[in-house]
């Protein structure tokens, strides 16, 4: 789990972590090939337990590190999308009702498995954390309100761009 890795890195003296991963897009807001920087993630149970305020529904990445990620993308002329995700530890087995609600409610543009617990753990460890994700698939609703699910391949260009952005943000 990413929180264990974050704790181990913090024990080794790491002060900044940028997660790079994949996410399932929900709805049509994000383009298929979007590179996304988290501006927050709706909490799952693990994040609620790690949180100082369990009533807060959204966990946030480190503001300054996230700004550096956006700055790195701008300097490299890579378009980024800043949006809120939904953390679910059972992403691939997610109940369809939750996905439908996310599409209709438009609170989150993607579903991932790490964001909120990572942000909460890093706050406790005094480590700055940010997250960059690339879409792996998309859920939408058809005209009858039924879920439609499509997979798409990330490209080497997306993966390389995300890595370069993270390296630039951490080293400049």
40, 59 contact by CB (below 8 A): yes
Q: What is the pLDDT of residue 52?
A: 76
Q: How many domains does the chain have?
A: 1
In a domain, 118, yes or no: yes
Taking only the tens place, the pLDDT of each residue in 43-65 is: 776 666 777 777 788 999 999 99
| Residue 108 belongs to domain spanning | 16-143+154-171
Q: Which of 54, 47, 53, 120 is nearest to 87 (CA)?
A: 47
Count CB neighbours of 33 within 10 A: 14
Q: Which of 108, 101, 94 is nearest to 39 (CA)?
A: 108
pLDDT score of 140: 93
CA triple 88-93-94, angle to 5 deg: 50
Tell me the mean pLDDT in the region 133-144: 92
Domain CATH code at residue 44: 3.40.50.1580
Quote the percentage of the chain above a pLDDT of 70.
Answer: 94
Q: Is the model's pLDDT at 114 over the cut of 90? A: no
- Residue 4 inside a domain? The answer is no
């Amino acid at each position: 789990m990413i929180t264990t890795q974050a704790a181990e890195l913090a024990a080794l003296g790491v002060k900044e972590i940028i997660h790079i991963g994949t996410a399932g897009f929900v709805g049509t807001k994000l383009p298929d090939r979007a590179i996304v920087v988290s501006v927050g993630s709706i909490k799952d149970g693990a994040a609620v337990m790690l949180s100082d305020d369990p009533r807060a529904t959204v966990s946030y990445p480190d503001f300054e590190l996230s700004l550096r990620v956006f700055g790195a993308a701008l300097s490299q002329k890579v378009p980024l999308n800043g949006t809120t995700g939904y953390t679910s530890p059972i992403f691939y087995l997610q109940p369809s009702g939750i996905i439908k609600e996310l599409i209709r409610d438009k609170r989150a543009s993607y579903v991932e498995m790490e964001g909120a617990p990572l942000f909460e753990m890093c706050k406790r460890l005094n480590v700055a954390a940010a997250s960059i994700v690339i879409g792996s698939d998309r859920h939408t609703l058809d005209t009858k309100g039924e879920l439609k699910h499509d997979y798409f391949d990330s490209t080497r260009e997306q993966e390389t761009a995300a890595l370069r952005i993270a390296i630039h943000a951490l080293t400049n």
